């Protein structure tokens, strides 16, 4: 029952303001090569991912690495009606991930590498709506949720001095819990009825293939990523917490910059 109510509430929230309770982050492709390499990047998403992505990865050895992902997404929309009356949506999503992994050369020249990371993350979502607050009988709509995820991310990459090209596929399981909402099917001054849910749970599986292109200097490079999000397990739950329509595969486009600190070799 809670699951059904949660899906209804989230849909009611999503349709008027195109808001969402969950956003994937950019699929970070660190492309580490040798022990001591430290790659950091910051990127903005134009579609399909959280707005701001900040990432770092460190090569513990020539084969083992550790990465950290951070994501922040925000969306604000205000709709003005007559006589100064208005409604608004204020969305904020935060998430963080940690994953160990490894990489190994695939070619004799050392240009092609296999990389594989797997880890977990946690996130928090808050949506606050407001409007017609002069009516004490009509509380402001809101929705909150927490989520955790587990993911595996195999990939291959080509690395040269000024160009890097990577292809990664991320399998991402997401569980949203404590989904709480107090929302109107339509938030208007004459409508004082709302539905409330507390502690509902939703879960779904996503497959996220991505191509990452880096170009620039030996250490600092511009980053461009393009990919797609494919809902698999419990796809209806994913579409319920995302503003895209059913059966739509969100296209991900990310632009940013990355810098790699490389450990100096003996004699350098």
What is the mean predicted confidence (pLDDT) over 2-22?
52
Q: Looking at the domain assignment, is residue 247 inside a domain?
A: yes
Residue 267 located in a structural domain: no
Burial class (CB in 10 A: 0-12, 13-18, 19+), 193: exposed
Q: Where are the alpha helices (DSSP H) in the chain?
A: 2-17, 235-240
Which residue segment(s) compose the domain that 91 sits in? 2-261
Domain assignment present for 245 = yes
Of all residues in the chain, what percent carry a pLDDT higher than 90?
Answer: 54
Assigned domain for 266 exists: no
The average pLDDT across 87-99 equals 83
Domain-embedded: residue 138 = yes
Distance set, CA 232 to CA 24, 168, 169, 239, 263 (Å): 14, 18, 14, 11, 41
Residue 12: φ, ψ to 5°: -65, -35
Q: For the chain, what is the domain count?
A: 1
- State pTM to two decimals: 0.81
Cβ-count burial of 63 within 10 angstroms (0-12 exposed, 13-18 middle, 19+ buried)? middle
Cβ partners under 8 Å of residue 46, min gap 6: 253, 254, 255
pLDDT tens across 225-246, in order? 999 999 999 988 888 787 665 5
- CATH number of the domain at 211, please: 2.40.128
**Token pair 């899906």 is at which residue?**
7
Would you say residue 48 lies in a domain? yes
User: Tens digit of pLDDT for each residue in 120-154?
Assistant: 999 999 887 654 444 444 455 567 889 999 999 99
Instruction: Please check whether residue 230 lies inside any domain of the structure.
Output: yes
242 or 114, which is more confident: 114
Strands 195-216 and 142-159: unpaired
């Amino acid at each position: 029952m809670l699951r059904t109510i949660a899906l209804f509430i989230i849909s009611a929230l999503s349709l008027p303001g195109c808001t969402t309770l969950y956003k994937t982050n950019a699929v970070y492709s660190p492309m580490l090569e040798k022990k001591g390499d430290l790659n950091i990047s910051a990127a903005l998403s134009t579609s399909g991912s959280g707005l701001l992505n900040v990432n770092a990865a460190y090569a513990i050895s020539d084969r083992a690495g550790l990465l950290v992902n951070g994501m922040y997404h925000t969306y604000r929309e205000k709709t003005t009606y007559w006589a100064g009356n208005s409604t608004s949506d204020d969305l904020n999503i935060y998430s963080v991930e940690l994953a160990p992994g490894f990489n190994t050369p695939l070619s004799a020249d050392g240009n092609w590498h296999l990389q594989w990371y797997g880890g977990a993350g946690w996130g928090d979502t808050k949506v606050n709506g407001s409007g017609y607050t002069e009516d004490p009988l009509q509380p402001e709509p809101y929705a909150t949720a927490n989520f955790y995820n587990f993911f595996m991310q195999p990939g291959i990459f080509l690395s040269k001095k000024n160009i890097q090209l990577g292809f990664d596929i991320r399998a991402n399981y997401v569980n949203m819990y404590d989904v709480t909402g107090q929302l109107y099917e339509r938030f208007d001054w004459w409508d004082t009825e709302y539905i409330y849910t507390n502690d509902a749970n939703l879960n779904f599986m996503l497959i996220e293939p991505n191509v990452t292109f880096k170009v620039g200097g030996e250490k600092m490079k511009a980053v461009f990523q393009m990919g797609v999000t494919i809902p698999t397990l419990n796809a209806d739950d994913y579409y319920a917490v995302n503003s895209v329509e059913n059966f739509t595969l969100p296209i991900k486009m990310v632009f940013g910059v990355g810098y790699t600190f490389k450990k100096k070799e003996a004699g350098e």
